[in-house]
Amino acid sequence: MQQQPQPQPSPSPKPKKKIRVPRVVNGVEQMVEIEVDENAGPGWGANDKHTLLNHKITRVDGPLKVTGVARYTYDQRLPGMLYGCILRCPYGHARVTKIDTEAASRIPGVKAIVQAPLTELRFAGAPVAAVAATTPEIAGDALRAIKVTYEVLPHVVHAPAAIKPDAPKVVAEESNLQEKAKNGDLQKAEAAFANADAIVEAEYISQRLHHACLETHGMVVDYRGGDSATIYASTQGTFTIPGDAAKELGLEQSKVVSSVEHMGGGFGSKFGIGTEGMFACRLSKETKSPVKLMLTRYDEFVMAGNRSGSWQKLKAGAKNDGTIVALTARQYRLGGIGQGSQAGQPYIYRMGDTYREVYALHTNEDSSIAMRAPGHPQASFAVESLVDELAYKIKMDPVEFRKKNLRDEVYHRQLDRGSREIGWSRRNPIAGGNPGPLKRGMGCAVGTWGGGGNNQCKVDVTISRDGSVLVAVGTQDLGTGTRTYTRAIVAEELGLGIKDVKEQIGNSTLGAANPSGGSTTAPSLSPSVKDAAIKARMLVAERVAPLLGNAKPEEIVFAGGNVSAKGQSLSWKQAAAALPAAGITSHGEWRADLQARGVHGVCFAEVEVDVETGHIRPVKMVHIQDGGLPLNRLTMESQINGGMIQSLGMALYEGRVMDAQLGMQLNPGFGDYKLPGSLEMPEMVPIIDDDDKREAVIGIAEGCIIPAVGALVNAVFNATGVRVRELPITPDKILIGLMT
Amino acid sequence: MTKSRDDHDPGRRNFLKGVGIAGAGAAIADHLWVEAEAAEKPPTSETLSGTVKVILDVNGQQRSVQVEPRTTLLNALRNHLEPALTGPKLVCDVGTCGACTVLLDGKPAYSCLVFAVDATNKKITTVEGLGSPDNPNAVQAAFVEHDALMCGFCTPGFVTTISAYLKKNPTPTLAEVREACKGNFCRCGTYPRVFEAALAAAKGSQA
């Protein structure tokens, strides 16, 4: 049975090419250049020829999650574990002059108190100290017993106040307003307005939003003295944890393992150990005991980051034939003490001669951080409102007007499809023109994203002699379905069912993986999984070839749980029995040719507005999303739904409310910060754009959160004739609009 | 404190009506608390010491925990019970999100709003008591089938709420399902499929 290995010619170096790929650092994409093989191997095949992928596959971790068995970071409980919590600064701007922990440390059960460095605190909620105690209740007692003396400094929390020359300075000696970029030719753009038949000049403001992950930020640090530690972290990046934790614990990075079995939502906010992780490590190091430090919901609102707000002053002009000829934009990123984020205008649309200035405008609020499609929904909301205003002004159908100014034909196709799905022909072209107090209206918008991958994932597939198959990689599943498609790719390649393969993920001792940000996970991970699976198939094929009439390995077919060639067939178990005692393990690397970059989405919304109360009822939302090869139609549709629902929150309900006098957030809880709930749900139609024939995996999570806000805002205008330019569109804004 | 709740609605909104101004002013109160507390005497050990033994009837078993009287049922289940029950999740800890929902004598309740000492005479059912991965109840099975979960952190609360509701109303309409889970929040955006799963579970149980 054993064949002599053929003498191999010395391999000539494979042709290489240079490509640019996205890499995510703290949730933000950066482009880097890498080298990849020109001819890498077999592809995915046609999108409609798959046996598992591009089908509806139920989540493999579903049964664990619906029965409460799935163990999240928050659920970890270790012997002797202490509970940590954080004391926050109550002032918008202050300096700590003294911390007295004497009384707190005398409370029975309090094991350690650590202080933050005595720096200037620039927002209400900034951490001051942390406590570890035997129960969370006692830890809370200790927080209340710590006496902090503050020197209170002047603060400013609202952008219009912060931009004034005499405003309190967020950072001493620095202007609150920082110029970031100037692009385009202002004189040319201004001259081009002369060619416009209609001009719209308006200001659009989007609010600070909260990620509101149901599992708060935090970790369990299992350190009991000695030279090693395990960190259970609620994170979007398994491999973003050990390095920073090791530094805090004073250990070698190789001795610190992170574990992310299941995690309860991130949306861009969970990379690295964070302030809470720093405190957890320090408390654990001091007590030589495991410490669990999960933020409270209040903490989560005031110190765990948020979506950057935006203030955009836009002016655009269009000809009566529908061509947009010019745009000038002044864009303020409202990121609190952080830099904020906002895609540059004009976003997606072609607008002739354009000019923009971008600024960061600082306030005494905690730093904005990445949130699903950082900077895009803000830019989309403003430009889609602006485009809609222009369309109404020149009396052109908003769909036709958009097509006129969108170069990419994919949008044209998707806009046509969306029009049919929502019933655009039923729409009254006159805004507010429907009779009666309950007025319906429709709107639409488009979105884009990259969604390409990079070469960070290393995947191992092991096949044992009993036929069991394990695919292992350290990646994390945020609820996007990573576990499920990882398993499905291997199962399909080996001709097996989804239950015949097991996956192991969420641990830093496994193969490296990229952090999950910017829709980069699927396009980074799945090519490596596919590569490992192909190599595993070939290793099995080489072993069973002698049992199948000495067929060439690449001729052997793996399908339906059988391995066949030359009219002979083995069951999977029989084939596996031919493997060596230790089984086989293949190692997969990323392949650029199995992924692609660039997605398109359009959203249509229908709303019903009660013009007597200002109440808005979302009636129906349709989102069409392309994404190359859909790995799992069931979870992809769920992601599209999720994008629409989170946008619904941004458009109509959510927003941080800051008190100018106190300098603090007034609504840091679900009682006052309104998330979309079951009663607000419209009929939702998530549509996968199967006209996209790219045989490549592309990330779609960001793409499907971008256009819905614009669609909803424009639907409200179509229903009422009221153009609300500041989010969220609460009933009071409708009523004020109707009165003026 | 759970007595006033109506039969199927764990009642975020009803609860909020009850707390009224106190709830709305909580943010400011927290702000003032720091200064007020600092001026007072530190708590003495007398006020903090003292745990009581509590027998809880959880998922058909008599389980004993030693807790302070101020310990919530949720924290007793998660932090004190040995082995722990961590199906009910701690998300808001103030009765606004529904992730900690358990059944008390068959009725949904936010376990973060119930003291463990007040739950001694009730039959407590957590999501673990409704079914297991190998033997899920109809709602759990339908949740998997219809992908009514993503990150899964809100899921135990929804499953528990809906399981209880279908016992009360085995043939609900979509509007009734929405109403039944208005006290549960999801952030990933699973609502449409939660509704589908609930209706499918109801239909399946009828067949």
CATH number of the structural domain spanning residue B197: 1.10.150.120
The residue type found at A554 is E
Query: Which of B91, B133, B154 has its CB closest to that of A67?
Result: B133
> Is A2 part of a structural domain of the chain?
no
B chain contacts of residue A135, beta-carbon cutoff 8 Å: 68, 71, 75, 79
Task: Please calculate the CA angle A389-A391-A394 and round it to the nearest 5 degrees.
Answer: 110
Minimum Cα–Cα distance from B140: chain A residue: A66
Residue that terminates a domain, selected from A563, A593, A623: A593
What is the extent of the structural domain holding A388? Answer: 309-451+596-739
Residues A200 and A313: beta-carbon distance below 8 Å: no
Note every long-range contact of A572-576, with CB atoms under 8 Å and residues 24 or more positions apart, other chains counting. A572/A467, A572/A494, A572/A495, A572/A496, A572/A500, A573/A466, A573/A467, A574/A547, A575/A467, A575/A540, A575/A543, A575/A544, A575/A547, A576/A463, A576/A464, A576/A465, A576/A466, A576/A467, A576/A540
CATH code for the domain of A342: 3.30.365.10
Q: Which residues in chain B are closer than 8 Å to A642, comparing Cβ atoms? A: 150, 188-190
Least confident range from A9-18, A585-594, B20-29, B94-103: namely: B20-29
Inside any domain, residue B47 = no
Cross-chain residue pair A642–B189, CB shorter than 8 Å:
yes
Check which CATH number belongs to the domain holding A235 and give it.
3.90.1170.50
As a whole number of angstroms, the distance between CA A317 and CA A320 comes to: 10
Phi, psi values for residue A230, rounded to 5°: -120, 135
SS3 content of chain B, % helix, strand, coil (to 5): 45, 15, 40
A114 and A221 in a single domain? The answer is: yes
Q: Do A66 and B140 touch (CB under 8 A)?
A: yes
* A-B Cβ pairs (cutoff 8 Å, strict): 233
Residue among A63, A77, A264 minimizing CB distance to B84:
A77
CA atoms within 13 A on the CB side of A308: 31
Whether residue B178 and residue A298 make contact (CB cut-off 8 A), yes or no, is no
Q: Is residue B196 part of a domain?
A: yes
Domain of residue B155, residue span: 138-206
Q: Please report the pLDDT score of residue A425 as a whole number.
A: 98
Number of domains chain A is built from: 3
pLDDT mean over A662-681: 97
Q: Does the residue B79 lie in any domain?
A: no
The per-residue pLDDT for A37 is 83
Inside any domain, residue B77: no
Three-state SS string over B124-172 comes to EECHHHCCCCCCCCHHHHHHHHCCCCCCCCCHHHHHHHHHHHHHHCCCC
Looking at the structure, tell me whether residues A562 and A709 fall in a common domain. Answer: no
Token reading at A135:
């129960």
Whether B73 maps to a domain, the answer reads no
Assess whether A605 and A564 both reside in one domain. no
Per residue in A77-90, is it b (16+ CB within 10 Å) or e — as a string?
A: bbeebbbbbbbbbb
Q: Are residues A377 and A710 in contact, defined by beta-carbon separation less than 8 angstroms?
A: no
Q: Is the domain of A620 the same as that of A726? A: yes
What percentage of chain A exceeds 90 in pLDDT?
94
ipTM confidence score = 0.96
pLDDT at B6: 40
Q: Residue B207: is its pLDDT beyond 60? A: no
- Which residues in chain A touch residue B112, judged by CB atoms under 8 angstroms apart? none
| A361 neighbors A159 (Cβ within 8 angstroms) | yes
> Which residues of B fall within a CB distance of 8 Å from A129?
none
Beta strands in A174-285 (DSSP E): 177-184, 198-206, 218-222, 229-233, 256-259
| Contact criterion met (CB < 8 Å) for B185 and A214 | yes
**CA geometry: angle at B62 spanning B59 and B67, to 5°?**
105
Q: Do A433 and A462 share a structural domain?
A: no
d(CA A548, CA B82): 55
Is residue A29 very low, low, confident or very high in pLDDT (cuts 50, 70, 90)? confident
Would you give the distance in Å from CA A395 to the centre of its chain?
37
Q: Phi/psi at A11 (nearest 5 deg)?
A: -65, 130
Chain B residue closest in CA terms to A292:
B79
State whether A540 and A578 are in the same domain: yes
Closest by Cβ to A70, choosing from B16, B152, B179 = B152
Write the DSSP symbol of residue A603: E
Distance from CA of B202 to the nearest CA of A (A): 17
Question: Based on the domain organization, do A406 and A496 belong to the same domain?
Answer: no
> Does the pLDDT at position A485 exceed 50?
yes
Enumerate the residues of chain A whose CB falls inside 8 A of the CB of residue B182.
677-679
Of residues B88, B87, B107, B85, the one with CA closest to residue B97: B88
Name the burial class of residue A291, with classes exposed (0-12), middle (13-18) and buried (19+) by CB atoms within 10 angstroms of its CB.
Answer: buried
Query: Are residue A319 and residue A394 in the same domain, yes or no?
Result: yes
Model confidence at B42, in pLDDT bands (50, 70, 90)? low
What does the pLDDT read at residue B49?
A: 58
Q: Quick check: A23 pLDDT over 80? A: yes
pLDDT of residue B8 exceeding 50: no
Mutation site for A-interface testing, chosen from B37, B150, B179, B185 by largest number of A Cβ within 10 Å: B150
Instruction: With a cut of 60, say whether residue B14 has pLDDT above it.
Output: no
Q: Is position A495 within any domain?
A: yes
Of B48, B79, B195, the CB nearest to A141: B48
Phi, psi of B93 (to 5 degrees): 65, 10
A444/A459 same-domain check: no
How close, in Å, is residue A151 to chain B by CA atoms? 13
The reply to whether A238 falls in a domain is yes
Does residue A35 fall inside a structural domain? yes
- Of A228, A263, A294, the last residue of a domain is A294
Q: Quick check: A281 pLDDT over 80?
A: yes
Round to whole Å and give the CA distance between A674 and A652: 9
Q: Let me know if residue B191 belongs to a domain.
A: yes
Which residues partner with B54 through β-bridges?
A: B65
- Out of A134-138, A239-243, B35-39, which region has the weakest mean confidence (pLDDT)? B35-39
The three-class DSSP label of residue A478 is coil
Same domain for A256 and A110: yes
- The per-residue pLDDT for range B106-158, each reduced to its tens digit, is 999 999 999 999 999 999 999 999 999 999 999 999 999 999 999 999 999 99
Residue A295 to residues A218, A265, A280, A644, Cα–Cα distance (Å): 6, 14, 11, 27
Nearest-by-Cβ selection for B187 from A213, A294, A638 = A213
Residue A50 lies in a domain: yes
Tell me if B146 is assigned to some domain: yes
Number of domains making up chain B: 1
pLDDT at residue B27 tops 90:
no
Tell the residue number behind the tokens 């707000």, with chain if given: A309
Mean pLDDT of chain A: 96
User: What is the pTM (predicted TM-score) of this model?
Assistant: 0.93
Q: Given B153, B189, B191, which is nearest A264 (Cβ)?
A: B153
B142: in domain: yes
Asked whether residue A134 is domain-assigned, the answer is: yes
- Domain edge (last residue) among A593, A613, A642: A593
- Domain shared by A401 and A421, yes or no: yes
Nearest CA in chain A to B17: A671
Q: How far apart are CA B150 and CA A35, in angstroms?
A: 35
Is B62 a residue whose pLDDT tops 60? yes
Do A569 and A714 lie in one domain? The reply is no
Q: What is the pLDDT of residue B28?
A: 40
Question: Which H or E element spans position B64?
Answer: strand B61-67
Q: Nearest CB to A68: which of B68, B94, B128?
A: B128
Given a cut of 60, is residue B100 above it in pLDDT? Answer: yes
Chain A residues whose CB is inside 8 A of the B16 CB are 671
Give the mean pLDDT of B97-104: 98
Non-local CB neighbours of A149 within 8 Å, separated by 6+ positions: A96, A97, A98, A99, A100
